[in-house]
A and B are shown apart, each in its own frame.
Chain A
Amino acid sequence: MADATEALLEEVRQAIDQGRPLAPTGGGTKAFYGREIDASPLGVAEHRGIVHYEPSELVATVRAGTPLAELEAELAEAGQMLPFEPPHFGPSATVGGAVASGLSGPRRPYAGAVRDAVLGVRLINGHGQPAQFGGEVMKNVAGYDVSRLMAGCMGTLGVILEVSVRLLPRPRHELTLVQEANQGEALGRLARWARRPLPITASCHDAGRLYIRLSGAEQAVDTAAQRLGGEAVTDADAWWAGLREQTLAFFDDPRPLWRLSLPPATPPLDLPGPTLMEWGGALRWLPNDAPAHRVREITTAAGGHATLFRGGDRRGTVFHPLDAGLHRLQRNLKQALDPHGILSPGRLYPDI
């Protein structure tokens, strides 16, 4: 437990005075993500510790530098978990990094994203002021929802000091099934199942196989398993962790990795190479050498967006370009929280 607020404030204030950009950094496990920028790292990892955690409140308030693994172990002991099943991408991953990157794991379509779980934050804004938004309660509409804005902002709107997150009880029972299916068949089944009240909490299609995780009361899971059919997967937790951490064989590919976020029912896309599908069809991974503009055109036409997740030109366009009006609002918002442009400027877009 260490409160490094004062030291961090001092560093931010100095950076403002010197006009020197800072990149808030936790464990550095997601440094590959987002645009590459020139900024001095602002280490938040020392600012760590669980500030409040009472299981019956279903909320934990945690300093940003707290290792994700440490928090998850603490929650597991009380039979709880983070609903969004965040990827770590390394043992030093921090809670602050998980929120700032906004990346959610396999449970996302069924239990919500990072932003859905964030209830409150304490941060240092680009004015060098500490400020607190939201809180530890589930329902709170006082003031604009600055807390959820921190999810996925990649450190460009504030240095996250503390986060309050909503938790879920761990399912009493889980079972993973696997079925043979091509991508089109898998999409059809997923769409059909999504319209029925089934206890599905993860889905993935890879190399002709459709994996479905069921969670809940034991009998309910078994009944659903009988309805859906398929073979039970042994060591399923490790399999889903491999998907979340991208250690499955599929991800062992030297080509740039694209992350396509789409309306779930989008039919298979006309892009070369293999595709791994998650989130009931709403998230697709493509290691691909196709020209960026082609990937983006096809994704846009399908009503989604494409991120150059790993590899490729990190100084170019990484996140999907925005329409002019939306881009202007986002830039105005960046200026509202970081008027001096010292917080990871350019990490999302060249001017944001």
Chain B
Amino acid sequence: MTAEAQPTTPDPGTALLARLRQILPEEAILHEAEDLRPYECDGLSAYRQVPMLVVLPETVAQVQAIMATCREASVPVVARGAGTGLSGGALPLDHGVLLSLARFNRILEVDLDNRCARVEPGVRNLAISEAVTDQGLYYAPDPSSQIACSIGGNVAENSGGVHCLKYGLTVHNVLELRIVTMDGELVTIGSRALDDPGYDLLALLTGSEGMLGVVVEVTVRLLPRPEQSRVMLAAFDRIQQAADAVAGVIGAGIIPAGLEMMDGPAIRAAEDYVHAGYPTDAAAILLCELDGTETEVAEDAEQVRQLLTHHGAREVRTAADPQEGARMWAGRKAAFPAVGRISPDYYCMDGTIPRKHLAEVLTRISELSREAGLGVANVFHAGDGNLHPLILYDANNPGELETAEHLGGQILGLCVEMGGTITGEHGVGVEKVDQMCVQFGGAELDQFHAIKAAFDPDGLLNPGKAVPTLHRCAEFGGMHVHQGNLPRPDLPRF
């Protein structure tokens, strides 16, 4: 960095700007401070950094030229979709270019015979389902930000949602990607067939947090809309009962389309906000959605009702019609903003654990919450063990953000200890880079770096995200030790 500050070296921003002006029209390049400001953060606003430049290309050829130019100038590039990510994956670099894909917002083709849609990466998740709803089809992954988040970002994060227990994550629903590498080369990965020759780069690219290539086109799988769906709500006096009911339903061979849990604080916040009719004195509620053919749903609903009651539900409601079902979901879907009303700030975590540990982990989280002196509301995808503890804090109180972050780190450590992971669907980004050292050892981190280098040898694409250096792990002091072998014993430790 010091080299850049030497007066004899021309400002790298100015030189790059001149070259980018040969590729892009003036209005597609932002370089004035007030134009750059809106790009300083994504959905994780605790981290902010104004980029050196923002570019807004409209064609794949422009993206290729931008990448080739940046590679040649050794300037890092961070790609950004709708900017709704929750782990800072699109956080800019002060010496880097922010590549916005916002103008790639067209649905290019709907192939009904092969049940797929070819779209540009800036297309919103929900817009895909809306475009094919008349044909009785939809795109299954539905992250809660689906009205705003873009499909390119969904690919980068391998987004899930409420229905992924039955219908899978982004990785299960993408058929083909076109990516631009850091060299500016356009590569097609996947096809409309159900498999492809060679390595499964489709799986590797999905969830790679924009570190291996820039996605410029996505072909997604479309599914027929289920004939019917039915929502049930069960209230429990103890969290343990609700957790047992989750295992009971799945153990009985029923895969609900969605199976969500909310704890007391989350129930009350949601009820105050949207008046969904939730029982505010319950310790936990489960929302269970069943879908399929009419006969299938009827058969499953009766069995689920019996299982929930058997596991101690004091009340089980079945939505009589889609309107009532939508009302039951409304509280769950509004849970985050609802919590936002009861606390000046909240910090959303995203660990996943084996379902069998749900009750234990929730108990430990409440103990940690008491120790830290900060409240925690839990709203989560119980069916797949994906927790979203919301840590309540007030950033205006000195030290509280740090306390919240520390508590978050403890919760993620707990998830790893229970055989789970530090992130189920939000990604590592900048936020959980240190926690990667808790989950992985040196051999795994080395392997991740080698994979990164296979696509981007100079480390110019979204550098510093998702995978920590071993040096950083040594500083963090949390390196996971595998089988008693300390990785890289030669590294200095702090």
A interface residues with partner B (beta carbon < 8 Å): 54-59, 79-80, 102, 104, 108-109, 112-113, 115-116, 125, 127, 129-133, 135-146, 148-149, 151-153, 157, 168-170, 172, 191, 194-199, 216-217, 219-220, 223-224, 261-265, 279, 282-283, 303-305, 307, 319-320, 322-323, 325-327, 329-330, 332-337, 339, 348-349, 352
Q: For the complex, give the distance between the alpha carbons of A280 and B337 in Å.
A: 43
- Check if B201 sits within 8 Å of A330, measured CB to CB: yes
**Chain B interface residue count, Cβ-Cβ cutoff 8 angstroms:** 96
Interface members, chain B 196-214 (any A CB < 8 Å): 196-201, 203-204, 206-208, 212
B164: A residues at CB distance < 8 A: 138-139
- Check if B224 sits within 8 Å of A135, measured CB to CB: no
- Check if A303 sits within 8 Å of B201, measured CB to CB: no
- Check if A329 sits within 8 Å of B114, measured CB to CB: no
Counting chain B CB atoms within 10 Å of each CB, the highest count among A56, A143, A153, A320 belongs to: A143
- Check if B197 sits within 8 Å of A322, measured CB to CB: yes
Counting chain B CB atoms within 10 Å of each CB, the highest count among A57, A102, A329 belongs to: A329
Q: For the complex, give the distance between the alpha carbons of A135 and B423 in Å.
A: 12
A348: B residues at CB distance < 8 A: 197-199
- Using A141-B157, A336-B453 as known contacts, list a sample of 17 further A-B pairs with CB atoms less than 8 Å apart, ordered by residue number in A: A108-B194, A133-B444, A137-B420, A138-B384, A142-B423, A142-B428, A197-B224, A216-B296, A217-B292, A223-B295, A263-B191, A264-B192, A265-B111, A283-B194, A329-B201, A329-B454, A339-B450
Counting chain A CB atoms within 10 Å of each CB, the highest count among B171, B197, B208, B450 belongs to: B197
Q: Which of B266-274, B276-284, B351-359, B471-479 contacts A (4 or more CB under 8 A)?
A: B351-359
Q: Mark B248-272, 1 if CB is under 8 A from A, else 0.
A: 1011011100000000000000000
B3 to chain A, nearest CB (A): 29
- Check if B194 sits within 8 Å of A113, measured CB to CB: yes
Looking at the complex, which one of A54, A139, A144, A195 makes contact with B115 (CB distance below 8 Å)? A195
B interface residues with partner A (beta carbon < 8 Å): 111-115, 135-137, 157-158, 160, 164-165, 168-169, 171-172, 181, 185-189, 191-201, 203-204, 206-208, 212, 224-227, 247-248, 250-251, 253-255, 292-293, 295-296, 299-300, 352-356, 381, 384-386, 419-428, 432, 436, 439-441, 443-444, 446-448, 450-455, 466-467, 482-483
- Check if B194 sits within 8 Å of A261, measured CB to CB: yes
Q: For the complex, give the distance between the alpha carbons of A199 and B439 in Å.
A: 39
- Check if B193 sits within 8 Å of A282, measured CB to CB: yes
- Check if A195 sits within 8 Å of B384, measured CB to CB: no
Smallest CB gap from B211: residue in A:
A144
Smallest CB gap from A140: residue in B:
B421
Smallest CB gap from B445: residue in A:
A143
Smallest CB gap from B444: residue in A:
A131
Q: For the complex, give the distance between the alpha carbons of A332 and B182 in Å.
A: 14
- Known contacts A195-B112, A335-B454: A115-B157 contact under CB 8 Å: no
- Known contacts A58-B250, A144-B448: A115-B203 contact under CB 8 Å: yes
Q: For the complex, give the distance between the alpha carbons of A217 and B72 in Å.
A: 60
B189: A residues at CB distance < 8 A: 326
A191: B residues at CB distance < 8 A: 113
- Check if B208 sits within 8 Å of A144, measured CB to CB: yes
B424: A residues at CB distance < 8 A: 137, 139-141
Counting chain A CB atoms within 10 Å of each CB, the highest count among B158, B160, B203, B439 belongs to: B203
> Can you sample 17 A-B contacts with CB below 8 Å?
A56-B248, A56-B250, A108-B194, A125-B443, A132-B444, A136-B419, A141-B157, A142-B422, A144-B208, A197-B226, A220-B296, A263-B191, A264-B114, A264-B115, A265-B114, A319-B197, A348-B197
Counting chain B CB atoms within 10 Å of each CB, the highest count among A195, A196, A282, A348 belongs to: A195
- Check if A223 sits within 8 Å of B199, measured CB to CB: no
B440: A residues at CB distance < 8 A: 142-143
- Check if B251 sits within 8 Å of A55, measured CB to CB: yes
Q: For the complex, give the distance between the alpha carbons of A197 and B443 in Å.
A: 45
- Check if B251 sits within 8 Å of A262, measured CB to CB: no
- Check if A336 sits within 8 Å of B447, measured CB to CB: yes
A74 to chain B, nearest CB (A): 16
A194: B residues at CB distance < 8 A: 115, 224
A163 to chain B, nearest CB (A): 15
- Check if A220 sits within 8 Å of B293, measured CB to CB: yes
B406 to chain A, nearest CB (A): 20
A59: B residues at CB distance < 8 A: 354
- Check if A329 sits within 8 Å of B453, measured CB to CB: no
- Check if B356 sits within 8 Å of A57, measured CB to CB: yes
- Check if A138 sits within 8 Å of B295, measured CB to CB: no
Q: Nearest 4 pairs between A and B by C-beta? A: A169-B253, A56-B251, A265-B113, A263-B192
Looking at the complex, which one of B136, B203, B247, B299 makes contact with A220 (CB distance below 8 Å)? B299
Looking at the complex, which one of B192, B199, B436 makes contact with A142 (CB distance below 8 Å)? B436
- Known contacts A143-B428, A195-B136: A303-B193 contact under CB 8 Å: yes
B426: A residues at CB distance < 8 A: 141
Q: For the complex, give the distance between the alpha carbons of A313 and B480 in Å.
A: 47
Q: For the complex, give the distance between the alpha carbons of A125 and B449 in Å.
A: 14
Looking at the complex, which one of A108, A132, A172, A319 makes contact with B253 (CB distance below 8 Å)? A172
- Check if A197 sits within 8 Å of B193, measured CB to CB: no
A24 to chain B, nearest CB (A): 16
- Known contacts A170-B253, A320-B197: A217-B385 contact under CB 8 Å: no
Looking at the complex, which one of A149, A195, A261, A323 makes contact with B199 (CB distance below 8 Å)? A149
B144 to chain A, nearest CB (A): 14
A331 to chain B, nearest CB (A): 9
Q: For the complex, give the distance between the alpha carbons of A172 and B421 in Å.
A: 33
Smallest CB gap from A125: residue in B:
B447
Q: For the complex, give the distance between the alpha carbons of A152 and B212 in Å.
A: 21
